[in-house]
Structure 1
Amino acid sequence: MLPLAFVCLLLLRLVVDTTATATPPPELYSPLISSKILAIAQNESDPPTYPQYTDRVAGIWQYFSPNTWTSGFFPVLQYAMNTRAELCNESDGNSWVELGRQWSTGLIPLETNNTLQHDVGFVSMPFQEEYYFNRMNQTAIDAITAFAADLDARFSPIVGCTRSWDTPDEPTWFEVIIDNMMNLELLFIGADITGNDTYRQHAISHANKTMINHIRPDGSTYHLVNYNADTGAVISQGTHQGYSNSSTWTRGQAWGIYGFSNMFNRTRDPNYIITARRLAKYFVDHIPQDGVVPWDFNAPLYPPRPADSSAATIASAGLLFLANMEKSLTPPNNTGYDIWTRHAIQILADTTALAWKPEWQSLLSNGTVNNPASPPNNLTGIVYGDYYYVKAGNDLISMGLAECHDHVASRSFGSL
């Protein structure tokens, strides 16, 4: 546990730079969101394929097989649109839940045959949402049970984590990436459904080891930690998708904010909210003055480093999650709540100004899938970027910080 003096100092520093005004961008509630998503949702392919990212010129979705780590995001986006419709009391004849179920059907075979490794957590997301929607839905129960068992089978009691990637050519390697923090919710839901508390304990163990080995003293994160599978010792700390082993890949930092906020939500362990605050503070402190979230905070400025709108929207959703956790404290941390919500709204506003693309099939452009790839995969729309954009918009409505109409936002943040 971090010393109390450090925590107090951290909270004091969070109060700095609170004079900017942030207002939810009107595009966040544009009718284009519904029409774009519906146009894709009503044209499902047979056999099923799933949009992951767009081309860089016309913004046309590129489709991939169900056995791809991102294949759950478009189905879960339908559930987010159902949440939007419920929040806004809309009844336009579109059955978003039915569309979500339809698009999830192609994922069911993965319960018994997949090569997704830890990414079964991401692919299970539409089934998780269906379970929240209808806890008696047997299809969702079966999927979550199968995927949770699959993920838990990757846990090593020696390392204390679930393995992210298999390394058959290096049997002593045990690779864990920060993204895996997002998949721990699957273990918690699996424990809720099956009564198997081992799932919950393994999720806690994984989060605790991640706190120790993925997070630097300044609150930045390593993308990848490689452990010795036989001893549990750390072999190396670095990156796979970031600029360098000592840099901070922004999407990984965003996964961490969201993941540790969720761990606090699930356990109420104060170390998790302290960790989420540290990651959040590093993220917001390192956004450039122009408000554009880069693909890596430490990548060189020249030649111009590409943005990552997906990292921005994930971080926004994570900051709103963290804000709600601040509000849930006894007594509520209203200062923290206001600071995180203001930053989340500002990131959404700046990202919208940069990347809102009415003419593209995706909602946003300027996403970076994998910049170190050859050739680099950047300047695209990305399905998970769109999902967290909609989710963050929903969260603002449910928090009373925005209204549904595309021309009204109910509150702006000035000096706090």
Structure 2
Amino acid sequence: MKSLLTSAILFSLIIFTSCQTETKSETQNNDLSAKLDNVVSQASDQYKYLMGILPENRFPKTYHADQDRLETSNSGWWCSGFYPGSLLYMYEQNQDATLLSEAKRIMKVLEKEKLNTTTHDLGFMMFCSFGNALDIAPEEDYKDILIQSAKSLSTRFDEKVGLIKSWDSKEGDYLVIIDNMMNLELLFWASEETGDTTYRDIAITHADNTIKNHFREDYSTYHVVNYNPQTGEVNKKHTAQGYADESAWARGQAWGLYGYIVMYRFTKDEKYLELANNIASFLLDHPNLPADKIPYWDFDAPNIPDALRDSSAGAILASALFELSTYVESDKSEKYFQNAETMLTSLSSEPYLAETKTNGGFILKHGVGHIPENTEVDTPLSYGDYYFLEAIKRYKNLSK
């Protein structure tokens, strides 16, 4: 009888503890969701402020606080799609017609880039803008714009090398950067929309050759691989924006993770999911990942823990990990979700979240663009804002 009583008490304690844990978890989710509602509202005010200082037909690039100067670009800059994409993500959440109107206005300026064959970044430029618009506020011509963009991007694929060329360079170079994985989503969409498998085949070939040559044994990635355009053999592996050729540049690792999650989403090929899991393990188990989960600009930066953080890398990682958490078993799913949640919580607070009418109208502070060239160092970045808003959207969808 005593044994039965003890067992009953223990069972009751387990149930009570489980309920308490679940209640605590639900409370934390509700608290963060409420906070994120306020963040989106504040972000919308920021972008309305940005709209007021943005020159006509220009795109926000970054802000120089020491000079109180907004730096902008034309539509051909690789980041041009992030501004309308961010506006659309905010409109989707709060239905503020002012944001949608501005997104439509600036996309008219961006549209001509559908014919641009000089860049590998048409996925960033056109799918983050028109691709999102097709889901959130569709217009009749958006599909045609995106199909033409995919055609233009496909012209940069060389069958001999088996990769989409990233940067044009001198004769004898064929430069491919890990960032290029992010532009393949446009090609998959185009195949699904048109029934033409050519786009999909290009994306898969590019991704498979990137696996062969971009990744190290520990699943960190090189930034740049230079191929011989005649033979397809590797000339050199190096970095442009990281600390050193053999270092792990944080945003490059994020691009790689996100890119192979997209590959798994469209193909359901387990090799892409396995690679994504291995990249995630490298990042999340790395001894140099800070407690708030916002990475240093390079995991091998020489002055850690005093090295600059990169909020843009944190935003990309958070968004990627939320999606990855939906494809894996429960233990990994929980790990990915909790790490992404921590990243999102950190970015939604000081020192990363900017106050209204500061930071040039950008949402996040402390992004790192290109330290080796001393450009966009510890500044806001348009892609940081975009992936932060995407991470918020994904978190909310998963927390419903």
Given the two structures, how large is their TM-score scaled by the length of structure 1? Answer: 0.82
Counterparts of 1:36 and 1:60, CA distance in 2: 16
Deviation sequence 1:127-158 (CA, Å, 0-9, x none): 111223366x3321222122111111111111
Alignment of 1:91-102 (within 5 A): 93-102=96-105
What's the secondary structure of 1:354's corresponding residue?
coil
Counterparts of 2:152 and 2:143, CA distance in 1: 14
Alignment of 1:94-243 (within 5 A): 94-113=97-116, 115=118, 117-124=119-126, 125-133=128-136, 137-167=139-169, 169=170, 171-243=171-243
- Count of residue pairs the alignment pairs up: 363
1:29 paired to 2:32: no
Counterparts of 1:388 and 1:29, CA distance in 2: 16
Contact in 1 for aligned 2:293/2:339 (Cα 8 Å): no
Q: Specify which structure has the bigger relative contact order, considering alpha-carbon pairs within 8 angstroms and separated by 6 or more residues.
A: 1
How far the C-alpha of 1:292 sits from its partner, in A, is: 3.9
Report the counterpart of residue 15 of structure 1 in structure 2.
none
Which structure 1 segments of 5+ residues have no match? 1-20, 86-90, 327-332, 402-416
1:81 aligns with one of 79, 90, 95:
90
Identity of aligned residues (%): 31
1:310 aligns with one of 309, 312, 321:
312
> CA 1:386–1:176 in 2, change beyond 3 Å: closer, same or farther?
same
1:348 paired to 2:344: yes
Which structure 2 segments of 5+ residues have no match? 1-24
How far the C-alpha of 1:302 sits from its partner, in A, is: 6.0
Report the counterpart of residue 372 of structure 1 in structure 2.
372
Report the counterpart of residue 74 of structure 2 in structure 1.
65
CA-based RMSD = 2.2
What's the secondary structure of 2:143's corresponding residue?
helix
Letter in 2 for 1:182: M
How far the C-alpha of 1:387 sits from its partner, in A, is: 1.1
How far the C-alpha of 1:114 sits from its partner, in A, is: 6.4
Report the counterpart of residue 390 of structure 2 in structure 1.
391
How far the C-alpha of 1:212 sits from its partner, in A, is: 1.5
Counterparts of 2:135 and 2:350, CA distance in 1: 33
Contact in 1 for aligned 2:295/2:313 (Cα 8 Å): yes
Report the counterpart of residue 325 of structure 1 in structure 2.
327
Counterparts of 2:201 and 2:294, CA distance in 1: 38
Letter in 1 for 2:110: L
Report the counterpart of residue 412 of structure 1 in structure 2.
none
Farther-moved stretch of structure 1 (145-154 vs 354-363): 354-363
Counterparts of 1:45 and 1:114, CA distance in 2: 26
Counterparts of 2:314 and 2:112, CA distance in 1: 32
Contact in 1 for aligned 2:92/2:136 (Cα 8 Å): no
How far the C-alpha of 1:61 sits from its partner, in A, is: 3.3
Deviation sequence 1:344-379 (CA, Å, 0-9, x none): 011222343331121322111110011111x34311
Report the counterpart of residue 62 of structure 2 in structure 1.
53
Letter in 2 for 1:385: G
Report the counterpart of residue 298 of structure 1 in structure 2.
300
> CA 1:364–1:173 in 2, change beyond 3 Å: closer, same or farther?
same
1:336 aligns with one of 325, 332, 336:
332
Letter in 2 for 1:52: K
Counterparts of 1:41 and 1:395, CA distance in 2: 26
Given the two structures, how large is their TM-score scaled by the length of structure 2? Answer: 0.85
Report the counterpart of residue 404 of structure 1 in structure 2.
none
> CA 1:377–1:33 in 2, change beyond 3 Å: closer, same or farther?
closer
Deviation sequence 1:17-48 (CA, Å, 0-9, x none): xxxx98648653322112112332466533x0
Deviation sequence 1:288-318 (CA, Å, 0-9, x none): 3464411110010269321110011011101
Contact in 1 for aligned 2:117/2:155 (Cα 8 Å): no
Rg larger in structure: 2
Deviation sequence 1:91-129 (CA, Å, 0-9, x none): 5x52543332212111112223564x1011211121111
Structure with the higher fraction of residues in helix conformation: 2
> CA 1:266–1:281 in 2, change beyond 3 Å: closer, same or farther?
same
Contact in 2 for aligned 1:263/1:272 (Cα 8 Å): yes
Letter in 2 for 1:28: L
What's the secondary structure of 2:377's corresponding residue?
coil
